[in-house]
Chain A
Amino acid sequence: MSAVASQESTRFDSSVDQYQIRRDRINSVIRYALLIAVGLVMLYPLIWLIGASFKTNAEIFTQVGFWPSKFELEPYVKGWKTSTEYTFTRYFANSFLIVIPRIIVTVISCVLVAYAFARFDFFGKKILFAIMVATMMLPQIVLRIPQYIMFQQFDMIDSYAPLVLPSAFATDTFFVFMLVQFLRGIPRDMEEAAQMDGCNSLQMLWYIIVPLLKPAIISVIVFQFIWTMNDFIGPLIYLSSVEKYPVSLALKLSIGATEEVEWNSVIAISVLALVPSVAVFFAAQRHFVDGVASTGLKG
């Protein structure tokens, strides 16, 4: 964010008088006020959600304030148990059984492919790169039905394979693109030196490229974690047995199961469902938000 530095070099020459300084101060007060107001409106639903998870069912529908009159832990206990034969321990474990393998294969395949695009010359490189960029804009919805039929032919329905396998082939092209952009910005001096010393391309990747790519790889991990945790239509289509459900599907089940929804326990579990993503986001937010900004892509 070198642009920040350039902003700070506001020159105080003779034309800047007291009036200007006061105007700047008023200006920044207005900006802060606006930012805090917008921030509150945006984050209030989430703050309210946390408060509501400790409320009784009656209080949820009558209190605008987020602070519960009495902290009830019962919604959490009840929600965790669920009305199904499994508890949320199972559903969280399932989610991680999808997320972790998917992150691992995504990172490996995307780094390899980005390395090829950024550092090698090979047959059909331009066309492949164009295809990659095009698939970023291709609506996934067109591919969903044939992919389903394919996985059915492979006998992989009701398993995690359809949710993980495509990522092992660098099909999450957004990540490849992000890594390529990042690699292009890294000078090749170190690699040239390493090559002089007799490094082969794989050693070069492992000892030089991967350490340099670390911030970008962290972004890939964070994005893939959050997107996979959020993914709903994938599990909805491919998983049919409840014992394999991830958190997203189990949450949906908790609403649909009975007419009389125990709102406070649904809310309590919703809060818990958001915890992993929020934790990962705040742990890596610096890399992460900068990463999105610098590659200029969606989130």
Chain B
Amino acid sequence: MYENRRIGFMYVLPFVIGVVLFKLFPFVMSFALSFTQYDLIEPPKYIGVENYREMFTTDKLFPKSLSVTLMFVVLTVPLRLAAALMVAQILNFKLRGINFFRSAFYLPSILGGSIAVSILWRFIFSRDGLINQIIVALGGTPILWLADEQYSLWTIVLLNVWQFGSSMVIFLAALQSVPQSLYEAAAMDGAGKGTVFFRITVPLITPVIFFNLVMQTVHAFQEFNGPYMVTEGGPLHSTYLLSLYIYEQSFKLFNLGYGTALSWVLFVLVAALSAIAFYSSKYWVYYAGEKEGK
């Protein structure tokens, strides 16, 4: 059945149009624009690799923004995955009310991307905000979370780690599919908890760890709402992520050529990291004869 190729193509046609018009064409166009100077009024002017040269030589803000972005990703992704896996491991048990807990932990992932939560964050990390009130109540000295460059990035990192629920539900599903017989066999052999976790659980769920790692990294490189609303990129550009820099260059200063060049650097970075992850995956990701995992 379903051999009628023409009908199949008819159904997929919206996607063909959409992907060409809204994905492939803009993708190629942004690459081309990155070699131009363009402000929406005058037609784009070809300037060769000037944008890229400027970025890596005269532009002081770019290296700063790049290092802040890398720092953010390096802090956020592992912390978020660790939190997700830990809580999933606690949840993976004959528990009553597992659905309740699962939803409760998932809730921040739903709301975390909203402006309302960014406002909440800005608020609880302010000088007299909730976090400092708790610190003072416990006898500590308040920290200027948003005004001190040492801590400002952490507020954004925490906002993102707080949203670990989406990775957690994926880990939980993976944990639940680990065959119980393996645990029984390990218990029979007298394996301790740590050994069971690192020798059985972790190897079996590496495909899901790999998947979460790649998706969360792609995601983290594009974080915008946090630095835009909570810290506004400051203080002293300590939270000035590349996404924010691209936004300001493109839609505030209307340096669209420079903006696309910046976004291409970000893209190449993400693509290179993904490629490394995919390439290295054959050494550490375990596929138990899965069809879809590859």
Contact = CB atoms under 8 A, between A and B. Distances in A.
Do A and B assemble together?
Answer: yes
A198 B130 CA distance: 66
Interface stretch (A80-88, A162-170, A211-219): A162-170
Nearest to B17: A169
B264 interface: yes
Contacts of A46: 107-108, 111, 120
B263 A169 contact: no
Contact of B263 (A27, A141, A170): A141
B137 A294 contact: no
Given A120-B5, A121-B3, A292-B170, A298 B12 contact: no
B4 A123 contact: no
Contact of B22 (A169, A226, A230): A169
Contact of B229 (A42, A169, A170, A252): A252
Interface stretch (B23-31, B53-61, B279-287): B23-31
A232 B105 contact: no
Interface residues of B, number: 104
Interface in A120-162: 120-123, 125, 128, 131-132, 135, 137-150, 152
A266 B229 CA distance: 13
Nearest to B211: A296
Contacts of B208: 296
Nearest to B162: A42
A298 B219 contact: yes
Contact of A120 (B7, B113, B243): B7
A299 B87 contact: no
Contact of B110 (A122, A140, A226, A266): A226
Contact size range, A? 35 or more
Contacts of B90: 31, 34-35, 38
Interface string A33-67: 01100110011011011000000000001111000
Contacts of A140: 222
Contacts of B95: 28, 31-32, 35
B19 A112 contact: no
Contacts of B214: 137
Given A7-B176, A132-B15, A230-B114, A166 B243 contact: no
Contacts of B110: 226, 277-278, 281, 299
A267 B218 CA distance: 31
A103 interface: no
A263 interface: yes
A26 interface: no
B1 A191 contact: yes
Interface in A249-267: 249, 251-252, 255, 263, 266-267
A117 interface: yes
A10 B214 CA distance: 35
Contacts of A42: 104-105, 108, 162
B14 A169 contact: yes
A144 B33 CA distance: 12
B198 interface: no
B263 A144 contact: yes
A128 B22 contact: no
A141 B246 contact: yes
Interface in A240-298: 247-249, 251-252, 255, 263, 266-267, 269-271, 273-274, 277-278, 281-282, 285-286, 289, 292-294, 296-298
Interface of B: 1-12, 14-19, 21-27, 29-30, 33, 40, 87, 90-91, 93-95, 98-99, 101-111, 113-117, 119-124, 128-130, 133-134, 137, 162, 165-167, 169-170, 172-174, 176-177, 180, 208, 211, 214-216, 218-219, 221-222, 224-225, 228-229, 243, 246-247, 250-251, 256, 259-260, 263-264, 266-267, 270, 274
Instruction: Report the 7 A-B pairs with minimum CB-CB distance, sorted nearest first.
Output: A169-B18, A120-B8, A299-B166, A3-B176, A116-B11, A146-B26, A122-B8
29 contacts: A7-B94, A10-B180, A38-B105, A46-B111, A109-B14, A113-B11, A116-B9, A120-B8, A120-B11, A142-B266, A142-B267, A145-B259, A146-B25, A146-B27, A150-B26, A171-B19, A191-B1, A226-B110, A233-B225, A237-B251, A251-B116, A267-B119, A269-B116, A274-B114, A277-B114, A281-B103, A285-B103, A292-B169, A299-B110
Given A35-B101, A38-B105, A42-B108, 4 more contacts: A31-B90, A120-B8, A201-B11, A285-B103
